[in-house]
Amino acid sequence: MEKYSSLEVIRTGLKQGEITCLSLVNHYLDNIEKKSHLNVFLEVYAEEARQRAEVIDAKLADGSAGRLAGMIVGIKDVLCLKDHGLQGGSRILDGFSSQFTGTAVQKLLDEDAIIIGRQNCDEFAMGSSNENSAFGPVLNDIDNERVPGGSSGGSAVAVQADMCLISLGSDTGGSVRQPAAFCGIIGLKPTYSRISRHGLIAYGSSFDVIGVFSKTIEDNALVLEIIAGADDFDSTVSQKDVPAYSAELSIGTQKKYKIAYLKETLHTEGLDSEIKERTLATLKKLKDDGHEVEEVSFPLLDYVLPTYYILTTAEASSNLSRYDGVKYGYRSENAEDLASMYKKTRTEGFGKEVQRRIMLGTFVLSASYYDAYYNKAQKVRRMIRDATKSLLQKHDFILLPTTPTAAFKIGEHSSHPLEMYLADLFTVQSSVAGTPAISIPNGNSREGLPIGLQIMADDFKEAELFAFSKYLLN
């Protein structure tokens, strides 16, 4: 077990006087420096974190500290922190500093968490391997020749490699769950609208959610409990009350569940045989423990990935139009007039994958193709959501592999975008449907690479998701 594997371990050490918040920050800063070759952090807030640690140590001494005192957090480079750099892993935001702090980050700070730095990611959260960052790829700590997954790869490796206790990432089509699987940790994508998106750089606005990386279910549940909820700055956020997730983790041991698994996910050519074996072994264990396990068919699975990419590229085309070199960020020095300034700034500032998705999105939104692609994809999205919800009304959970393969080698799919997109094959269903999902460790391959198990639940059933996940991990 890592020395600081959970907030409970940290709080015990703080209570007994074995550690302080300052020594804890220094511990993580030392690890960040020792493992700088992993290329995880784009910016480390070393002195700021130390100063904040001293303030929180004083609050602990007088009994006024918040619920997250002792929690050291890293944030993906798509989350706003006032007066700190924010680039979305892109050169087009060179020199930009955020003018405000996003709601989720502010809620962590209000409970005395310490933000230690911003983490590398695929440019504008577009990628499945963290190779699309303008600042170079992040390396998997288990095998430095392999990817950590994307787009929140830096956030996943930070937790995996003990550079912070918790990371906040973003998940549009699997960008928290897939890296969690590749790195052998826990990654949550909550229900769409559960967490305010205020302060999150927009990629696909009807898909984007803030997600949580952790080593324990308890920490993940506590963080969601604190950052979820209504927000005046986000008109799309849910007004539903936030349950005490961290206090409801025992419900998973008190009942027998009805569990579905999708036949199509376990009988696809692209699924690695070891991942299939591990998934089937988990299903058998659940059956042996008295749970009802049922194979179900989901014929719409073939349409999930194209639906996702049509709609997210369309939204990206619209959302990224604001980056033009006029008000902030990078501006081309080779411009001759206003039109060439726009063109050259965006050509030089955006990476190839972002350019590809903007062009695809612009195409599907064009007058000639709007009905054929965008409109039709919206209708198929509704069908996918309805079919997923129908399954979840009859079953407590849907279980499936998080990814079709374990972490692949850097460069393995770089020249084949379609191969890279297939890495999202099992995660996009939850994103298209808007339902919550979590990836938890499910053993290792014979090469020692982590394997992830994904669990999907119905809207706003995160409490049940956490409890069931804890039961599976015990």
Give the alpha-carbon dihedral of 57, 59, 62, 66, to 10 degrees: -120
Encoded tokens for 250: 């025992």
370 DSSP assignment: I
Sign, CA torsion 355/357/362/363: positive
Helix (H) or strand (E) holding 322: none
Q: Which residues pair with 187 in a beta bridge?
A: 213, 439
Strand pairing category for 292-296 and 258-262: parallel
What are the CA-CA distances from residue 387 to residues 177, 306, 438 (Å)? Answer: 22, 17, 19
Distance in angstroms (rounded) separating the CA atoms of residues 73 and 112? 11
Pure H helices in 144-290:
153-160, 177-183, 217-227, 263-266, 273-288
Is the separation of the CB atoms in 157 and 123 below 8 Å?
no
Distance in angstroms (rounded) separating the CA atoms of residues 28 and 192? 32
Dihedral pair phi/psi, residue 289, rounded to 5°: -80, 0
Q: Which residues are catalytic?
A: 76, 151, 175
Encoded tokens for 241: 């009350």
Helix, strand and coil in the chain, % to nearest 5? 45, 15, 40
Helices (H) and strands (E) in the chain, counts: 16, 11
**Residue 424: is it exposed, middle or buried by C-beta count within 10 angstroms (0-12/13-18/19+)?**
buried
Buried b (16+ CB within 10 A) or exposed e, 452-473: bbbbbbbbbbbbbbbbbbbbbe
Encoded tokens for 395: 């079953």
137 DSSP assignment: P
271 DSSP assignment: S
CA angle in degrees (0–180, nearest 5) for 181-384-433? 50
